[in-house]
Amino acid sequence: MHNPQLNKDGKLKHLLSIEGLPRAILNQILDTAESFTGVSEREVKKVPLLRGKTVCNIFFENSTRTRTTFEIAAKRLSADVLNLNVSTSSQSKGETILDTVDNLTAMHADMFVVRHSQSGAAHLIARHVAPHVHVVNAGDGRHAHPTQGLLDMFTIRRYKPDMHNLRVAIIGDVLHSRVARSEIHALTTLGVPEVRVIAPKTLLPQDVEKLGVQVYHDMRAGLKDVDVVMMLRLQNERMSGSLLPSAQEYFKCFGLTQEKLALAKPDAIVMHPGPMNRGVEIDSAVADGMQSVILPQVTYGIAVRMAVMSILAGSNDA
């Protein structure tokens, strides 16, 4: 079946989800990102790859890291950047998302970076836009957050270059997490041999094993000898009903402390996509500790988003 993210030559035209993308494309993005890490260290932090292009950030949901790093990345590629303030836009007067996109396209937007609480929003826009316009999913509902998944893979590769010899644990609210889905698809596509998910039964999707992961409900068993510990936030905004006794009880069973981290390999890295809830899923001593690579993840997000946008802009339909 044709993947709507690829053009007729198999090149990446939109980035909507990691699911279904070939390993070669993931590696192309990660390798291209390597070449962009140096740009941020130069005195003039710019390359001309998107000169003359307009990138439009439309975030219907709050964001700190994703929106700002997309803006920085687009500016470092020399694009013009337009940040639509959705709360003061004509959305509040009943304009549809597609009418908003059409109006911005009439202003010659070349690329839309979209975050929305509804799964499938970015796909809807990608199906609608003109052939020369590109769409990047910056997080849709609980479905996918592909650039977060990619920047996490980039971070892992930087600290643990042999991806074919890794044991990775993803811990917490997998059920509501678009990040976890994107990470699982990326890890399995890139050939990581052992991906574990550690969570209470109430925070795991049905049939999660079918995604190629091993399931643990006990943090101490699941953390044993892992190389990478990926923590997830409790997505309270997407929970309906009471799935947990209390935040304190959750922290006791599934919060990452130094004592629990000691069960992982001594050189294990600790990751978190942010925003963190200290004292709920992670203890401050771990979040700020020697094994934490949480802030490098944010930094690498710029290079990875530069890579994605430059690859999209260079695809044949552009």
Cβ distance to ligand CP smaller for residue 167 or 272? 272
Shortest Å, Cβ 66 to ligand CP = 3
- The C-alpha atoms of residue 138 and residue 74 are separated, in whole angstroms, by 14
Peptide bond into 266 cis (omega under 30): no
Is residue 127 a known part of a binding site? no
Q: What is the DSSP letter of 130?
A: -
Would you say 160 is a known binding-site residue? no
Residue 63 contacts ligand CP per CB under 6 A: yes
Residue 157 annotated as lining a ligand binding site: no
Q: Is 205 annotated as a binding residue?
A: no
Question: Residue 292: which of 264, 317, 318 has the closest Cα?
Answer: 264
Please select the residue that binds ligand CP; options are 191, 275, 279, 314, rule is CB under 6 A.
275
Question: Which range, of 64-72, 224-232, 248-256, 287-295, touches ligand CP by CB under 6 A?
Answer: 64-72
Question: Min. distance of Cβ 208 from ligand CP in angstroms?
Answer: 21
148 is a contact residue toward ligand CP (CB under 6 A): yes
State how far the Cα of 198 lies from the Cα of 203, in Å rounded to an integer.
9
DSSP count for the chain of H helices, then E strands = 11, 9
Say if residue 235 carries a ligand binding annotation: no
- The 10 Å Cβ neighbour count of residue 91 is 17
Instruction: Please give the Cα distance from 104 to 91 (Å, whole number).
Output: 13
Count of other CB atoms within 10 angstroms of residue 137: 29
Q: Could you tell me the two tokens for 312?
A: 């999209």
Taking CB under 6 A as the criterion, the residue among 11, 65, 238, 278 binding ligand CP is 65
Using CB under 6 A, count the residues that bind ligand CP. Answer: 10
C-beta closer to ligand CP: residue 28 or 63: 63
Interface stretch with ligand CP, choices 61-69, 125-133, 153-161, 196-204 (CB under 6 A): 61-69
Residue 205 interacts with ligand CP (CB under 6 A): yes or no: no
Does the annotation flag 278 for ligand binding? no
- Helix (H/G/I), strand (E/B), else coil: 238: helix
Beta strands in 52-193 (DSSP E): 54-59, 80-84, 111-116, 134-140, 167-171
Could you list the residues known to form a binding site for carbamoyl phosphate, using ranges: 65-66, 115, 145, 148, 274-275
- Annotated binding-site residue numbers: 65-66, 93, 115, 145, 148, 178, 233, 274-275
Contacts to ligand CP by CB under 6 A: 63-66, 139, 145, 148, 273-275
